[in-house]
Amino acid sequence: MSVRSIEWVGEGIEGRLRFIDQTLLPGRVVYVETVAAEEVAAAIRSLKVRGAPLIGIAAAFGCVLGVRDYGGADGDGVLRRLDEVCRMLAQTRPTAVNLFHALERVRRAGDAARGAGRDGVVKKVLEEALAIAAEERGMCRRIGEAGLELLRPGMRILTHCNAGALATGGMGTALAPVYRAHAEGYGIKVYVDETRPLLQGSRLTAWELMQAGVEVTVLCDGAAAWAMRRRLVDAVLVGADRIAANGDTANKIGTLAAATAARRYGIPFYVFAPSSTIDPEIENGDGIPIEERPLDAITSWAGVRIAPEGVAVFAPAFDVTSAELISAIVTEEGVLRPPFEGRLPGCGSARGRS
Amino acid sequence: MSVRSIEWVGEGIEGRLRFIDQTLLPGRVVYVETVAAEEVAAAIRSLKVRGAPLIGIAAAFGCVLGVRDYGGADGDGVLRRLDEVCRMLAQTRPTAVNLFHALERVRRAGDAARGAGRDGVVKKVLEEALAIAAEERGMCRRIGEAGLELLRPGMRILTHCNAGALATGGMGTALAPVYRAHAEGYGIKVYVDETRPLLQGSRLTAWELMQAGVEVTVLCDGAAAWAMRRRLVDAVLVGADRIAANGDTANKIGTLAAATAARRYGIPFYVFAPSSTIDPEIENGDGIPIEERPLDAITSWAGVRIAPEGVAVFAPAFDVTSAELISAIVTEEGVLRPPFEGRLPGCGSARGRS
């Protein structure tokens, strides 16, 4: 059973939003309960809540809280308030596409309740937020079901970054089949890359897997190739931030390093993502824009300087793994093995499943 | 011009040992001057002085200081004191082979001065320590000269860990040709892997290259494959801790990851080491013992917990890069390209140079 990173608790429209403050993990496990949209926005901005799907869910519930706070009773005023709250939440993490999709959905739901008064709009927006959260959970579950066919009892998995319950509203993408296999008693063992510079692997993935009772070993990113060469790893499972039509996959920096080593040592490399991650408009990896941003975490850590003052830093947030290094792409629609060209969900008519 | 990580300063046998406290880099640059063998031993134990060749030099000078402190004048007492000091220094880092070689040399030098009184023995031991330091510098210089043929003006180099002036008494091994090329005005640019878990790359290599005016960019270990795929790197240069007779090379963990990516993207991968690093008794990499030790640096940093309490850690100190991934091995004897089998210095009669 994976942790619940976000949850609506209490009585219907009188409820509260509860989420884990991920900035304090793994040292402290703090569940925050809030009734204020502003606090949700602040939590997204400060990375207490992170992971594109999770941000979308948090924002949708944030709208519920924001509209509920409206003092008046007139229908138009409620919808204006919803609009304001949506705009505030949209400004928290301007690049997360799930955020905009979720906000658009709750805005439309609110509009549909026009004339039903404040409580009517709140009820409708809450229903939509709950629906988004439920769909996310279902999507993770289906990815987990589909991916289960790739795992065998006793398998030793390597993963990178966090593609688990802490990034989604459900049991994750790359970690979904791991949780599923764990529930089946497969005795899966997971090696987790610490994932510099922000350490989502050692801070978040290791923690959530341990909460679920999965056997976890943390290693530095540079040690993964050696673990593979030493035959300690049977498969590599990662998530994805964007997948091009040909299967080229953008994911957290360090993913490509794991993929090149996996290929060299004959270890399968699997990508897990909802089909919404596939961008049919982008032909191949060259078209995926890669953010590069100097990160303080590379030059100092916990206030201690770890690189010289004034040194240049190469700090891409993501890298692109060529489709030729990927053994299968798993979405909620199933497991797709190469060739991916024209066969990924949403990319052409000739869809295939292995 | 590379930094001087260690130096005997002052008037002959009245001099002092000066070294950089490497634990404070890059935040603070502190040169320690000492006249006490015990302080040298403590500096080695606490990693203020690190890098196998540098430890050997420091220990040799430590013997000078220890013997000079001897209060008596009788020749046998001086040699007993030398013996005590050697034993104390030998216990600082029990696995560094250079340490034992250096101590053995100064002990023999002292013995040869038997009967010359305290000052005679001190003088002889100092001469030997200075000879060891000079030989180290010469060895680095010759590696740099030999390696220069592999570099071209404007080249962009990737290196891992610290194989520079801070690890040796001279200008380093892998960094020696970089310093040499820099002096020739090649305009070399160096990408430095931060080298988790102990960050020798970002803390030490970046610092010493910047001191010399070399253009440096720091990156996380996981970003190196992406830098190579993006064609930002023209060659990878690393040091070595042990080289087997077939060319398989043990070096700091993360080296193999860089080597697999370099091979995939057609980038030459060069190993630099004194020929004493080659172990003709070890047929291939399988025979090289690899230390694995849980390291606090993987679970906490500067007092902040970065992995869950009780998590298992895979923390090999070194990995082994197969000879087939190595484009050339450079020693003070020259550049050797594959096949390495039977052709490395000290391994068989048919030595070759490219």
For A267, other C-beta atoms within 10 Å of its C-beta total: 20
B312 lies within 8 A of chain A by CB: yes
Instruction: Report phi then psi at B200, rounded to 5.
Output: -60, -30
Predicted TM-score of the model (pTM)? 0.93
Alpha carbon separation from B129 to A163, B56, B165 (Å, rounded): 55, 9, 18
A266 lies within 8 A of chain B by CB: no
ipTM value? 0.93
Query: Which strand (E) or helix (H) includes residue A76?
Result: helix A75-90
| Distance, CA of A147 to CA of A334 (rounded, Å) | 7
- Quote the pLDDT of residue B294: 62
| Distance, CA of A236 to CA of A271 (rounded, Å) | 9
Structure tokens at B84: 């005590």
- Quote the pLDDT of residue A71: 87
Q: Are A34 and A65 in contact (CB under 8 A)?
A: yes
Which residue in chain A has the smallest CA separation from B312? Answer: A217
Helix A75-90 and helix A117-148, axial crossing angle in degrees, nearest 10:
40
In angstroms, the separation between the Cα of residue B58 and the nearest Cα of chain A is: 25
| Distance, CA of A122 to CA of A111 (rounded, Å) | 11
| Distance, CA of B272 to CA of B163 (rounded, Å) | 9
The answer for residues whose C-beta is within 8 angstroms of residue B278's C-beta and 6 or more apart is B243, B245, B331, B344, B345, B346, B347
Structure tokens at B200: 């020798």
Structure tokens at B318: 């070194």
Q: Are A256 and B350 in contact (CB under 8 A)?
A: no
A218 lies within 8 A of chain B by CB: yes
Query: Which strand (E) or helix (H) includes residue A229?
Result: helix A224-229
Q: In sequence order, which ranges of chain B are alpha helices (DSSP H)?
A: 37-45, 52-68, 75-90, 97-112, 117-147, 176-183, 200, 206-211, 224-229, 255-264, 296-299
In angstroms, the separation between the Cα of residue A291 and the nearest Cα of chain B is: 13
Residue by residue, DSSP assigns A266-303 as T--EEEE--GGGEETT--SGGGS---B---HHHHEETT
CATH number of A144-336: 3.40.50.10470
Contact A303 B302 (CB under 8 A): yes
Size of interface A-B (CB pairs under 8 A): 205
A130 lies within 8 A of chain B by CB: no
Supply the residues of A annotated as catalytic: 241
Interval B189-203: pLDDT, tens: 999 999 999 999 999
Annotated catalytic residue within B193, B221, B241, B319: B241
Nearest to B261 among A196, A223, A257 (CB): A257
In angstroms, the separation between the Cα of residue A280 and the nearest Cα of chain B is: 23
Q: Which residues of A touch B162 (CB under 8 A)?
A: none
Walk along chain B (354 residues) in steps of 10 and give the mean pLDDT of each run.
92 96 95 98 95 94 96 86 97 83 96 91 97 97 98 98 96 98 98 96 98 98 98 98 95 97 98 94 91 81 92 95 98 98 84 42
| Distance, CA of A298 to CA of A315 (rounded, Å) | 8
Instruction: Please choose, from the candidates B341, B137, B111, the residue with its C-alpha nearest in 3D space to the C-alpha of residue B247.
Output: B341
B225 lies within 8 A of chain A by CB: yes
B107 lies within 8 A of chain A by CB: no
| Distance, CA of B143 to CA of B139 (rounded, Å) | 6
CATH 3.30.930.10 fits B6-141, yes or no: no
A210 lies within 8 A of chain B by CB: yes
A248 lies within 8 A of chain B by CB: no
Nearest to B311 among A195, A206, A313 (CB): A206
Q: Which residues of B touch A202 (CB under 8 A)?
A: 298-299, 306-307, 311
Q: Which residues of B touch A203 (CB under 8 A)?
A: 306-307
Residue A236's DSSP bridge partners are A158, A269
Q: Are A167 and A174 in contact (CB under 8 A)?
A: no
With cut-offs at 50, 70 and 90, classify the pLDDT of residue A73. Answer: confident
> Could you confirm whether B234 is annotated as catalytic?
no
Which residue in chain B has the smallest CA separation from A207? Answer: B308
| Distance, CA of A147 to CA of A157 (rounded, Å) | 13
Q: Which residues of A touch B306 (CB under 8 A)?
A: 26, 194, 199, 202-203
Interval A34-66: pLDDT, tens: 999 999 999 999 999 999 899 999 999 999 999
Residues 26-85, chain B, touching A (beta carbon < 8 A) = 26-27
With cut-offs at 50, 70 and 90, classify the pLDDT of residue A351. Answer: very low
Q: Residues, chain A, total?
A: 354
| Distance, CA of B220 to CA of A265 (rounded, Å) | 23
Domain spans of chain A, in order of start:
6-141, 144-336
| Distance, CA of B19 to CA of B38 (rounded, Å) | 14
B147 vs A76, residue with greater confidence: B147
Q: Which residues of B touch A299 (CB under 8 A)?
A: 202, 218
B289 lies within 8 A of chain A by CB: no
Return the residue in A28, A260, A284 with the most chain B beta carbons within 10 A, the one to mutate for interface testing: A260
Whether pLDDT at A342 is above 50 = yes
